[in-house]
Amino acid sequence: MSYLFNALSMLIGLAFDAVVILFLLRVTAEACRADFNNPLSQFIYRTTNPVLAPIRRVVPNWRRINLAALLLAWLAMLLKRLLLFALVGVMPNLAGLLVLSLAELFDFVLLFYIVLIFGWSLLSMFSVDRRQPMLRLVEKIVAPLLRPLDGKLVFGQIDFAPMAVIIVLFLARMLIAAPLLDLGARLAVGG
């Protein structure tokens, strides 16, 4: 039974995480004003717009933040966690489930940025075409986090700003997201 549970958990996690990534890309691309002519940006927009368009009538943007996409990402995390609890046969407490899914989304956003910054900094070491659509989109998304340290942590020819930001994001995962996840899990199972 545990083998089947592990396989189903992995499949549920992958499916819902892919949806969350799509909505997070939409939020971050809009927030940083990514080039709409980029084919990747157009794919993200076309894929998410049928779901977001009706919700955006009720939940408007706040500044440049697409709150409807964030709401759907949070609901995807909530549904994922609910399905995982159902696999175990546990009915979670609603307040705990809400806190747990919000904490999971926060942790996922931090991990999302860690992966993007790491990938972008790794690719920047190689001779790659800067006009490549994925690289242009990722560069636009990570730029706001790297901008405060721009040129301040350069030693020799190496810029340590991406490493510093990644360390801060890991610390946020350990010191903020992990306690929130623990609190949400305790509230959800009633412990």
Residue 144 is part of which domain span?
A: 2-189
The tally of domains found in the chain comes to 1
- Please report which confidence band the pLDDT of residue 26 belongs to, taking 50, 70 and 90 as the band edges: very high
Position 25 scores a pLDDT of 95
Tell me the per-residue pLDDT of 54-110, one tens digit each, with 9 for 90 and over. Answer: 999 999 999 889 999 999 999 999 999 999 999 888 889 999 999 999 999 999 999
Question: Which whole number is the average pLDDT over 29-54?
Answer: 92
Block residue for tokens 């709401």: 71
Task: Locate 22 and state its tokens.
Answer: 């799509």
Position 191 scores a pLDDT of 62
Least confident range of 85-94, 114-123, 139-148: 85-94
Task: Locate 184 and state its tokens.
Answer: 């949400």
Which amino acid is located at 125 in the chain? M
> Residue 159: what are its φ and ψ, rounded to 5°?
-100, 115
